[in-house]
Structure 1
């Protein structure tokens, strides 16, 4: 009984090997790699140095751009026999319909996965030298690969069933819309889309994330393939039921699919020194700490000896407590590029703004408008003095001139009174300059 199967098995391997080396499949792998790399390289400043943001961008690009591309390529491959008018010849081949479909669709899926892995290796190599903490998530890589493999088989079956020559590009457009549209919905079910933008900067997926997401996309693909090519098509119910169960779990869990990443969330601080506030940042931004400390050195020297001055500055996400103040809010691509502060002067000024900013509201009458003007000029003078920069709003301000003209001891006392003003205040509580 085993002797007749050997030639069939050898022919299957030969056909698969030929499909892997020739035809559309290798070009699909190259196209996937370029489709992922080109958009990511244009936004490199936004993800280099952060494993979470790197995989966030990689996941979105692979799902929203590479996914429709693979679907279209597999669909074109599936309609090959119809275009060549050789579909009837397949009936004389001794292999089963399922084996024929699997042999023809697998090269597209494998080359698509290879193109994604090549792009992933390039992107990871580009971000690794700049990372401060954390590590890449294997779960995200597994789900991306599972999706590209799955959509390849689904696209192939659609190409076999639909004989329209334009079905491949139409399928790509439909896949793009279908994958991207859930991202605009504020519902937990949006995570069913493999292209859904994830929050990975400071978060990691739960341990069962990859198996459930792969069961969701893979179950649909296997059900479609069995429903089309298997002799016992009712077997497609099993993977379809598995996909429905996985999808239900995903839709029910929603944002709880992710949890805090302790490796990234931990704080890294400068050494405490008398008269100099500490600076604390997330571990992922720790490489920026020396530059931030150097940029704020002048501001810290002006705060030395001021009553009530903060003893610690923390990143904005930590939420400053009593005696602390918030650093300027910067992120990769906006203020930080490859572990460098792109504009240290602006960083200092925005940190001073966060320290000085008060929500003091005067009345709507003329007296209230004058008080608003006085408070705005007073705050701008303090920001300009602390940052050591020229005023952006009130150049040559008399308030700034008065602050500079004060004796050092008197200025420290006045600044202490100003910093003691509560966040929600009245104009009378803001000391006159």
Structure 2
């Protein structure tokens, strides 16, 4: 059986030179930063894909561009450029045959790293699932980087072109991440916030078109005789760019699983996001002491609800602190249950007041804030910052010295003023 010449050549390109080393290089480039920050992503699909996206684009992109550039410059280094002009195969076919193996191995390396990272985070996750669209877009970006680097290597005849291109690519990808303009969403290495959010349905195809347009235009302009055809992918990319810029943060929507609540049966009821189901029993146990101190207090919360960051709890519910992986939560274990309970108590006594009240320095307003601190410290002792003895510390001593019945009555009057910003309405200690 006679092998097809193109297939035989492609298999040879896959195995020769530095091309096969692209896969392990990309896999390690992604895996090493992920391993060093396991506490920050294990247990949450969104947190995992945030860091995977950053490493694949910001670190993997320059590496793959450099590999493509080195591959593109091999004919200049070997002095065989003139020989290739004598073969019947066209420039476009030769380009694809030589650049595609770099892209293939780059994607293989990325997928190996992604599979390993997902296997590491899966045992700690609750509901939800990773986004296939994010994986596809990151893989396509590496393909575009390989072909772009290859063309640069063919045009730029310098042995140091590959490392210089890698450095330039890193800067080109990294600098826009510090901008606040909507234009930053055109950057393939933009740092997306994916905790509790997933891409909209059209995110992947639009980003594939945007990323592929310039790369295809560059390849077409270099390898195709009718160079005006390079305008076609550029026009397509320009057509979707306004959609990406104007959408901005709306490129992502709230994960439906994050809106679903998982609750305990006991009263007071504790509810966490569907994404944090494994944390429900730990959260409930951490608040046991807080519930005990509020037992019998008129107006004490009957429901504690975890809401997405920036959201508001349902009517009549008290918000729970947001779980931050790597800080309050490590591999789906509460890092410090006492501090978590104190943060809940602090949120229970916190007031949503206008700036004029927050910065006021009169004695009545200061008394209100110090009373709030004293209540939080009494609800969860020995977990918050130390109070000043002459102010909040004195209020805490008075609250502690009260009889049980007197304290319950005072706390009931206090809880009735939680949404009030008038210092005169807060009962004195």
- The alignment's TM-score, normalised by the length of structure 2, stands at 0.91
Of 268, 275, 279, which residue of structure 2 is paired with 1:284? Answer: 275
Give the conservation status (yes or no) of the 8 Å contact 1:335–1:342: yes
The answer to whether the Cα contact below 8 Å between 1:132 and 1:285 also exists between their aligned partners in 2 is: yes
| Distance 1:390-1:151 versus aligned 2 partners, 3 A rule | closer
Q: Does 2:49 align with 1:31? A: no
1:93–1:333 CA distance, 2 compared to 1 (3 A): same
Q: What residue in structure 1 maps to residue 15 of structure 2?
A: 21
Q: Is the 2:342–2:384 Cα contact (8 Å) retained in structure 1?
A: no
420 and 177 in structure 1: CA distance in 2 versus 1, 3 angstrom threshold? same
State which of 410, 417, 420 in structure 2 corresponds to 1:421: 417
**2: CA distance, partners of 1:411 / 1:373:** 22
Q: 1:33 to 1:269 in 2, by over 3 A?
A: same
Cα separation, 1, equivalents of 2:101 and 2:420? 65
- Find the counterpart in structure 1 of residue 244 from structure 2: 250
Q: Please give the alpha-carbon distance, in whole angstroms, between the structure 2 residues aligned to 1:47 and 1:22.
A: 37
Change (3 A) 1:173 1:373: same
Structure-1 separation of matches of 2:68 and 2:394: 71
User: Residue 343 of structure 2 corresponds to which residue in structure 1?
Assistant: 350
Match among 101, 125, 133 for residue 107 of structure 1: 101
| Residue 344 of structure 1, CA deviation | 0.5
> 2:44·2:125 contact (CA, 8 Å) conserved in 1?
yes
Preserved contact between residue 257 and residue 273 of structure 2 (Cα < 8 Å): no
Equivalent residue, structure 2, for 1:411: 407
User: How far apart in 2 are the matches of 1:168 and 1:266?
Assistant: 49
2:4 counterpart SS class: helix
Aligned length: 420
Given that 2:339 and 2:383 are in contact with CA atoms closer than 8 Å, whether structure 1 keeps it comes out as no
CA distance in 2, matches of 1:280, 1:14: 60
Residues 41-80 of structure 1: pairs in structure 2 closer than 5 A? 41-80=35-74
Q: State the Cα distance separating 1:377 from its structure 2 match.
A: 4.5
Distance 2:359 2:186 in 1: 50
Alignment of 1:102-251 (within 5 A): 102-251=96-245
CA contact 1:52–1:136 (8 Å) conserved in 2: yes
Rounded Cα–Cα distance in structure 2 between residues aligned with 1:44 and 1:199: 17
Output one character per residue of 1:89-134: Cα deviation in whole Å (capped at 9) or x when no partner: 1111222111111111111111000000000001111111111121
Q: What is the distance in 2 between the residues matched to 1:94 and 1:179? A: 39
TM-superposed CA distance for 1:393, in Å, is 2.0
Task: Tell me if structure 2 keeps the 8 A contact 1:150–1:218.
Answer: yes
Q: Which residue of 2 aligns with 1:378?
A: 371
Q: 1:210 to 1:377 in 2, by over 3 A?
A: closer
Matched, 1:265 2:256: no
Indicate if the aligned counterparts of 1:362 and 1:372 stay in contact, CA closer than 8 A. Answer: no
The equivalent of 1:3 in structure 2 is none
The CA deviation string for residues 110-166 of structure 1, in whole angstroms up to 9 with x for no partner, is: 100000000000111111111112111111111111111111001100100010222
Cα 1:362–1:80, aligned 2, differ >3 Å: closer, same or farther? closer
In the TM superposition, residue 290 of structure 1 has moved relative to its aligned partner by: 0.4
Contact 1:204–1:261, Cα closer than 8 Å, also in 2 = yes
Structure 2: segments with no counterpart, 5+ residues: none
Q: Distance in 2 between matches of 1:63 and 1:180?
A: 10
CA contact (8 A) 1:204 1:260 kept: yes
Q: Aligned-residue CA RMSD in angstroms?
A: 2.2
* Aligned partners of 2:350 and 2:418 also within 8 Å: no
Q: Note the C-alpha offset of 1:192.
A: 1.4
Counterpart of 1:337 (choices 310, 330, 335) is: 330
Match of 1:430 in 2: 426
